[in-house]
Amino acid sequence: MDDDCPKCEEGLPAWLATFADLMSLLMCFFVLLLSFAEMDAIRFKKMAESMKDAFGVQTEIPTNEIVKGTSVIKQEFSPGKPEETLMEEIRQQTTDDTKDNLDLHDGKQSADEIKVDEAMKAAMLAQLEAEVEQQAEELAEMLKEEIEEGMLEIETEQTKIIIRIQEKGSFPSGRASLNPGFFDVITRITDVVAETPGNIVVAGHTDNIPISTQRFRSNWELSSARAVTVVHAMLSNSGLDPTRVLVEGHADSNPLAPNDSRENRAKNRRVELIIERGEDEESGEVLNVSG
């Protein structure tokens, strides 16, 4: 019987070496996978809370306590309640991730709206300036005779029409009463101004020669009184709305030319009617005009 049994070879079988190499390689592979894996604590915590909610939480019961109730399962297991703050953390994380994109999108819309708004305002301003030029030309044609005689000047400044009444032919020197023949000129000016939208500033100006009389203590009173006289003449026989009118007296603080000659001082003695077309009548939107 002993002669029939073959002798076993000494040492381990050859296949075991290959198997050991394979196991070592597999272990190294999984170690590498584990080292490269990203552990998301919030994600695993959420998963654990979900499992608690689904399967319930086991309650340990000491052996010395008697089970109460009719159901052992009911006493040993109670519904799990996930922490409420966890969901808030996830929601906050999602909001923070998308906030930058939302801000950029809103900013782009705001920039586009600003560009469109600026383009619309520029177009409205250009149209308004064209209307002002046309109205100034109509006024100049109506008052052509007075302009040629040097009694009036008409010019435009962006959206303003400036009607400049010189002292010559309108006021006696040092007085604030209109010459009788000038009322007709004021009436014609008022007829056009009443139909022109915008506020009206009536501003009086003098030269730098001091005045001190029983009626006027200074050039401030003289310039203001002349502006008031023009306003009274405009409102006396016209449909001009008085709420549109503003009176100003500047004395010699805003000269047109240096007060170094008789001609320049005569040019500075004036009353200006300034029609301010700074508001679009259709939309009611105020246009900011500098200058």
Instruction: Assign 3-state DSSP to the chain and report helix, strand, coil percentages, each to 5.
Output: 50, 15, 35
Residue 220, in any domain of the structure = yes
Residue 232, in any domain of the structure = yes
What is the DSSP secondary-structure string of 162-200?
A: EEEEESTTTS-TT--SPPGGGHHHHHHHHHHHHTS-SEE
What rounded mean pLDDT belongs to the chain? 77
> For a pLDDT cut of 70, what percent of the chain falls above it?
70
Q: Average of pLDDT values for 147-164?
A: 89
State residue 80's pLDDT score. Answer: 53
* CATH for 245: 3.30.1330.60
Q: Average of pLDDT values for 121-136?
A: 86
pTM higher than 0.85:
no
Residue 105, in any domain of the structure = no
Per-residue pLDDT of 204-238, as tens digits, reads 999 999 998 889 999 999 999 999 999 999 998 77
Going 106 to 112 to 115 to 116, the CA torsion angle's sign is negative
Q: Which domain holds residue 167?
A: 135-276
Per-residue pLDDT of 10-33, as tens digits, reads 777 778 888 888 999 999 988 888
Q: Structural domain tally of the chain? A: 1
Q: Do 222 and 216 touch, CB atoms closer than 8 A?
A: yes
Q: Average of pLDDT values for 46-61?
A: 67
State residue 73's pLDDT score. Answer: 47
